[in-house]
A = this chain, B = another copy of it.
Amino acid sequence: MSYTAPIKDMLFVMQELADLEEITTLPGFEDANFDTAQAILEESAKLCGEVLAPLNVEGDRNPSSWKDGVVTATPGFKEAFRQFAEGGWQGVQHPVEYDGQGLPKLIATSCLEMLNASNLSFALCPLLTDGAIEALLTAGSEVQKQAYVPRLISGEWTGTMILTEPQAGSDLALVRTRAEPQADGSFKLFGTKIFISWGEHDMAKNIVHFVLARTPNAPEGVKGISLFVVSKFLVNDDGSLGARNDVHCVSLEHKLGIKASATAVMQFGDHGGAIGHLIGEENRGLEYMFIMMNAARFAVGVQGVAISDRSYQKAAAYAKERVQSRPVGSSAKQPVAIIHHPDVRRMLATMRSLTEASRALAYVAAAHCDIGHHHPNEATRAEHQAIYEFLVPIVKGWSTELSIDVTSLGVQVHGGMGFMEETGAAQYYRDARILPIYEGTTAIQANDLIGRKTVRDGGAVAKYLLVGIAKTVETLGRHQGAAFESMQKQLAQGHRSLEAAVEFVIANIKRDPNAVFAGSVPYLKLTGLILGGWQMARALLAAAEKREEDPSFYGAKIATAQFYAEHVLPQAAALETSIVSGKGNEGVLALAEDQF
């Protein structure tokens, strides 16, 4: 159950597709370059491969546990977290002024992938802390930033996102937790929150909760929600820890996967009120939470890439080792390693191409984010930020949906052994299943992609990306060989399908919103499929250029791109049909409630 970070593949994507060179010339990133990136990836790979990956199975067998309100993380996690924190890994992408490393999100994304591939449950804790840091940096006061950010970056403390209540899951309008203002400007919070990842644990000295709650007389619905910071231990003015706050973990959930990550039911205010402080302005909590959530959504998308790669690595290793049956179309009498059987090869190539496509899309998105924040030109920043925001729900929704398919194939490659828990392939299948759910289900991502990202700007970003794809299709046409021909043909068809889908969405959103939203997830999947395919096409062009330098490595990139073109991209037409069939409320919506 080892994990070897695919550094070479990561660097290929960063250099050839995500323009690492440009990123490292942006103001603030001048100290970074290819060599820095490589050095960081190698260090990160060591920690992930040697310390975190071996704890992954342990976490599954011996989940974090609750006793009398105290949660003890899986044995080994506390020490591993210490190493993670001391290595400065929490701060990779955060500002130098708060003791972060100030590196590009592009580089941080590869570290994030490794962290999650090695141990998804463990990685969820720093992932949420990242979100907390981003929310503070955006909406917190300077005092709050100074009080919390450096300690979150150092790993002394960790952060959580506390939104969900039993009646308020996807629908945050239904949040009922109360925040009562106190004379000193603080608030007292009362309520029950559920599904709080790492809401309580023993890996850090303090836990900083970011909590959605309502102040008295706040408007109903999402416009009456405020964001509060509530720390497990109160923080004195000098930064030292004070009394235990009135926020307690009353139980942990028993889950399908990511068992080591404590999923807490958190009770606020059972003993007089949990003391909290308002972040930013009253009633703007949801807006701030979306900052955390967008960061977290991107990161969950990377979790999808990560678990796919882990599952692929394990399946490929098993397929090379397991000897079973004679080769097809050969007179050989001896059984061979199953990787020689065409269907096993097909499964592995599927896993690999989906993983590479979703990785490429995520890294490219990260690069847009870097440009969107660091480019000296404001218009350029805005343009790239808009592309990044368009891509976030796709990275989140598409990569995580894929991870279900990939980890399922990972089980299948192992045959009967895959169903045995000791083998380990099943853990990835179980762990991955949360990814299309938390931080907004795939449907929520798809609604975001349609409403805020496609319709609001009249399809501007979508059409801009379509122009880019068309250019790549044209470039592909100038090359010869089966890989280019297949990719050119399928990407062109995919482009037509995506164009038709974008037009359908924009044309029908007002007059028939149900029809559009009935195809929202197929629309998200189609954008992922085509944008991922675009990256595979760009990878193909880059690899063909460099093939001579390293025939095996670049040859594999070419073959993987061809596989994606012939076996994955053709799904575009079916998705298009599914999207445009929503019209007239037939099909999807034809069945009445009582007919189900």
Contacts and interface: CB of A to CB of B under 8 A. Distances in A.
Interface of A: 164, 167, 169-171, 173-174, 195, 253-257, 316, 319-320, 323-326, 328-329, 335, 337, 339-346, 348-349, 352, 404, 408, 411-412, 415-422, 426, 429-430, 433-434, 436-438, 441-443, 446-447, 482-483, 486, 490, 512-515, 517-522, 552, 555-556, 558-560, 562-563, 566-567, 570-574, 577-578, 581-582, 584, 586-596
B343 A520 contact: yes
Contact of A255 (B419, B513, B563, B582): B419
A253 B419 CA distance: 10
Contact of A412 (B254, B257, B436, B558): B436
A78 to B, nearest CB: 25
B441 A415 contact: yes
Contact of A567 (B426, B517, B578): B578
Given A415-B441, A574-B573, A577-B566, A426 B256 contact: yes
Instruction: State the 10 A-B residue pairs at the shortest beta-carbon distance, nearest first.
Output: A329-B513, A559-B590, A566-B581, A570-B574, A342-B518, A343-B443, A556-B595, A570-B577, A256-B426, A171-B325
A8 to B, nearest CB: 12
Nearest to A443: B343
Contacts of A563: 587-588, 590-591
Contacts of A174: 324, 335
Contacts of A342: 514-515, 517-518, 520, 582, 588-589
B340 A584 contact: no
Contacts of A573: 570, 573-574
Contacts of A592: 552
Contact of A560 (B319, B433, B591): B591
Contact of A595 (B253, B408, B518, B552): B552
Given A256-B419, A316-B596, A349 B430 contact: no
A481 to B, nearest CB: 10
A433 B438 contact: no
B596 A324 contact: no
A347 to B, nearest CB: 8
Nearest to A588: B346
Nearest to A590: B559
Contact of A170 (B167, B324, B328, B512): B324
B169 A596 contact: no
24 contacts: A164-B416, A169-B415, A169-B416, A170-B324, A170-B325, A254-B421, A255-B420, A257-B419, A316-B596, A329-B513, A341-B517, A342-B518, A342-B589, A343-B521, A346-B588, A348-B596, A412-B442, A415-B437, A419-B433, A486-B587, A562-B586, A562-B587, A566-B587, A567-B581
B437 A416 contact: yes
Nearest to A258: B419
B339 A593 contact: yes
Contacts of A562: 586-587, 590
B339 A596 contact: yes
Contacts of A329: 512-514, 517
A389 B419 CA distance: 28
Contacts of A316: 596
Given A352-B596, A426-B256, A518-B346, A324 B171 contact: yes
